[in-house]
Amino acid sequence: MDYYKVVTEDMKSLGLRKNPNILQFEKEKWVYEENPQPGNQDSGGIWVANGKGNAHTLKKYMQEKGVATKLFAVEIGKILYSNSYRTKTNKVRLLYEVLN
């Protein structure tokens, strides 16, 4: 499975579903969630998109909301939850920016 992370132009998490825990990302650096929680709860993990198509859908959604974003291929840590379009993990490392 290929995983992707959509972040704001200033490399922060999107804060979807009113998530107050905004993380700062850096290319090639691991970012950890302090208290990862297994399961489908919105809190307690870092969400990534499963596949490039799902990531582009999220990028388009944010663009419609007026939020400029960047898209990165990522390496992830332990899977805490996964469904057909997204995965929650305890850590993420941005590998390279996807321009298309």
Q: What's the pLDDT tens digit per position in 34-90? A: 888 888 877 778 999 999 999 999 999 999 999 999 999 999 999 999 999 999 999
Domain range for residue 68? Answer: 3-95
Indicate whether 29 belongs to any domain: yes
As given in the structure block, the two tokens for residue 76 are 């992830």
List the single range of 4-8, 13-17, 49-53, 84-88 with lowest mean pLDDT.
Answer: 13-17
pLDDT for 37? 80
Torsion angles phi and psi, residue 54, rounded to 5? -65, -35
Domain contains 100: no
Is 17 part of a structural domain of the chain? yes
Alpha-carbon dihedral 29, 58, 1, 7, rounded to 10 degrees: 0
CA-nearest of 3, 15, 87, 97 to 23 is: 15
Q: What is the predicted pLDDT for the residue at 34?
A: 81
Residue 57 within any structural domain of the chain? yes
Q: Domain tally for the chain?
A: 1
Is the separation of the CB atoms in 74 and 5 below 8 Å? Answer: yes
- Using an 8 Å Cβ cutoff, are 61 and 55 in contact? no
Residue type, 98: V
- For residue 80, the model assigns a pLDDT of 95
The answer to the question of residue 10 being in a domain is yes
